[in-house]
Structure 1
Amino acid sequence: MTLLTRRHRVLVVEDEDNIATALNYLMMREGYEPDRIANGGEALGRIRATHPDLVLLDVMLPEVSGYDICADVRRDPGLSDVKILMMTARGAANERQRGMAVGADGFITKPFELRELRNEVRRLLEPRA
C-alpha cells in the first residue's frame, strides 16, 4: 500500500452558507477533499470539470433544482461513477422517491444527525469488500 493514497473528492452543492460550511468542515475532518458550489446553474459544469467521487446535492437550489442536476449527471455516461447523495428539508416520502427515480444513490432529510450523514457518505464512498 502506498502512502500517497488519493482522498475521495466531495462536491457540496448547497446554497445555504451555514449548512455548506458545516458540510465542508465535516468532509475535511473525515479525511475527504471537499469543494463547494452554491448555484444549481453552475453545478453540472463543476461536476464535469472536477469529476468528484460524491456530490452532496441539495434539492432546492437557485436556477436549477437538485433533481434536474441529478438527472443530467445520470444522462452523462462519463459521470456514471459519480455518487449522488441528495439532501432536502422536505421529508415527504414522495421527495425521496423522486430523488431515487432520477438516479440518486442516497437521500437524506435535513436537519440530519451528523452520524447519519457520516454513515451515508461512508456507505457510498467506502463500499465493503
Structure 2
Amino acid sequence: MRLSDFAGTWRLTKRLHDRRAGVEGHFEGKARFTPAATGLAYEETGLLSLAGQRPLAAERRYLWREEAGRIAVDYADGRPFHEFDADDPAPLAEHLCAPDHYAVRYDFAGWPEWEAEWTVTGPRKDYLLRCRYSPSAS
C-alpha cells in the first residue's frame, strides 16, 4: 500500500462505545486526503451523535506521510501521532498520551474499503472506536 492510494474523498462512519461513561455514539461524515507539502493532509468532517444528546459538528485534521516504507500519521501541527507498516494488511500502531494508551488496528483486507479500530485505555479514558472508510464520489 502506498500513501497515494489514500488520496481522495472517503465516506466515513464511526461507532463509539465509551465504557467509562456508558455512552454509545455514531459519526457520519467524510474524510479527505489532499496533497500537502510533506504527503497528504487528512481532514474529516461530519456529525457526531451521542445517545441522548443533539448531534454535534465534529472534525479532525492530521498529516499522513511516507517514511522508510511506513506511513507516519502526525497531528496537524506536525507532532508525531503514530506510524504503521504500509505492507501489512492489518497493521497495529500505538500512541502513548500519558497517562492514556491508544492502540489502532487498521484492516486493509477489503480494499478499497478499510477500517481502523481504536482501543483507548487509561485512567482518563476507556473506549472502543470503530471507523469504516469507503470510496466516495465527492
TM-score between both structures, scaled by the size of structure 2: 0.30
Q: Which of the pair has more CA radius of gyration?
A: 2
TM-score by length of 1: 0.32
